[in-house]
Amino acid sequence: MPTVKGIFLVPYMIINWLQNKVEHRVTLNKGKMEMTLNMVWLLPEILLLTMACLILVIDAYLPKQLQNLTYQLAQGTLIGLALLIIAGFPQEQVLAMNNMFVLDPMGAVLKLFIVLIVFVAFIYSRGYLQDRNFLKGEYFVLGLFAALGMMVMVSAYSLLMVYLGLELLSLSLYAMVAMHRDSQKASEAAMKYFVLGAIASGMLLYGMSILYGVTGTLDLVTLAQAISTDTEHHTLLVFGLVFVIVGLAFKLGAVPFHVWIPDVYEGAPTAVTLFISSAPKIAAFAMLMRLLVDGMPHLHADWQDILIVLSILSMATGNIIAIAQHNIKRMLAYSTIAHVGYLLLGVIAARETGYAASMFYVLVYSLMTLGAFGMIVLLSRAGFEAERIEDFKGLNERSPWYAFLMLILMLSMAGVPPMVGFWAKWLVLEQIINAGFIWLAIVAVIFALIGAFYYLRIVKLMYFDKPEEMAPIEAGMDMRVALSANALVILFLGMMPHSLMAICLDALVK
């Protein structure tokens, strides 16, 4: 005969079993919902990775007469990517993948500009590569993988994710520089870039390992909280910070970690140089923001002092050495170094409006340098590289329209009003003055005046010197339209700088 206790125990066990099943199902559903949300937030990156792999496989089996299909698929991927980013534009910060991936307005804007610049870079590059019988699908596939690395860097919210995105970008760029295997200069540039890049990556990883050893976390939010409460290990944290900044300075090209830039810019094919000089700088700025501003805001007094030194050295070295250059690619390389010095001024201000000014600067710089290298590609042809500054002599006589476009680009890079380059410098100088660094603003203005010389020298050659040759300038319709739009956008933004600045403020000022 069953006992009373046994009679009540059986239904209790059944109910308990049902509850466990329900809870397990709810947990599974929550996990599935979370995974679904993660997949939605990561949809642009997933699309880019899938298409890059697919295009790589397709290109391996394409006959030579269908080589353009790789280019068309790559451009179609970028268009779809831009539409996805716009459709999923976040209005506030969203964390995904266990807080390793962040979506915020700043990241969305930077990703859109990365996609836009890579799209235009592919347009500029196709004709250049085709003229040299060098139109290979690897260029576009590596460009897509590099864009994926940049997008991961922009949305990385963990030290691990930052490093993975950085290495994906770096490995793609190393391969792009070395693509022209028959060129000794390209091979040498790739080797220098690879060796120095590996050293910088090692230093960055060492700094991250120190931060992890002290705080016990890779998550940037938890890292910031741990640093704010840790008063015993300040020296160790600063030690790790220094190594992190070394890695950041290398990727940005700040002095004294700039030695790779002139050789890589000159040695790499111009189609590769215009890619390296533009979009990756946006990703480097994003990495700077994620690591220093989001991950280590309580160490701002320490990284502020280091960035001041890097900024002054970069402005001085870039602007002074650029004057002595006769190769325009090397001149633009030192120009890049100088622009990095100005870019850092807004971050040094250590306030949201300063970060917005630096974001404005890096976006404007990327558009300007893309157009400048696009002009070099335009003037180049099979068997001739327009790498000497003298190659721009008398451009106004050969083509007044292209001379006008180059005039806009050079005046903007020099910071001459009303071009947008002037407003970029004005905004970072305003922020650094508001932060109390008036002496630093004076130093920046002095070096800006020195730097204006080598930009205006190009203008003088175009309009006041006789051309060395009168060969017609030939380019495809897409190249002509893209280059004209590139320069005219810079002129338009110079007339209405508040349109882009409002976007940067909305993305950063909470």
DSSP string spanning 97-145? Answer: TTTTEEE-HHHHHHHHHHHHHHHHHHHHHHHHHHHTT---HHHHHHHHH
pLDDT of residue 15: 41
pLDDT of residue 6: 47
**What amino acid is encoded at 423 in this protein?**
W
Q: Angle at CA 362, nearest 5°, toward 260 and 50? A: 80
Contacts of 26 (CB under 8 A, 6+ apart): none
Secondary structure of 220-266 in the HEC alphabet? Answer: HHHHHHHHHHCCCCHHHHHHHHHHHHHHHHHHHCCCCCCCHHHHHHH
pLDDT of residue 14: 45
Residues in the chain: 510
What three-state secondary structure class fits 466?
coil
pLDDT of residue 447: 94
CA distance 273 to 365: 15
pTM, to two decimals: 0.90
pLDDT of residue 16: 53
pLDDT of residue 417: 87
Longest alpha-carbon distance in the chain = 116
pLDDT of residue 10: 47
pLDDT of residue 38: 65
Placement of tokens 């090209």 in the chain:
253
CA distance 300 to 106: 20
Domain residue spans in the chain?
A: 28-508
Instruction: Give the CB-side neighbour count of residue 428, counting CA atoms within 13 A.
Output: 32
Contact 163/208 with Cβ under 8 angstroms? yes
State how far the alpha carbon of 39 is from the alpha carbons of 2, 33, 36, 97, 208, in Å.
54, 10, 5, 9, 28
Using 70 as the pLDDT threshold, list the residues of the chain that sit under it.
Answer: 1-38, 382-383, 510
Placement of tokens 């590596």 in the chain:
142
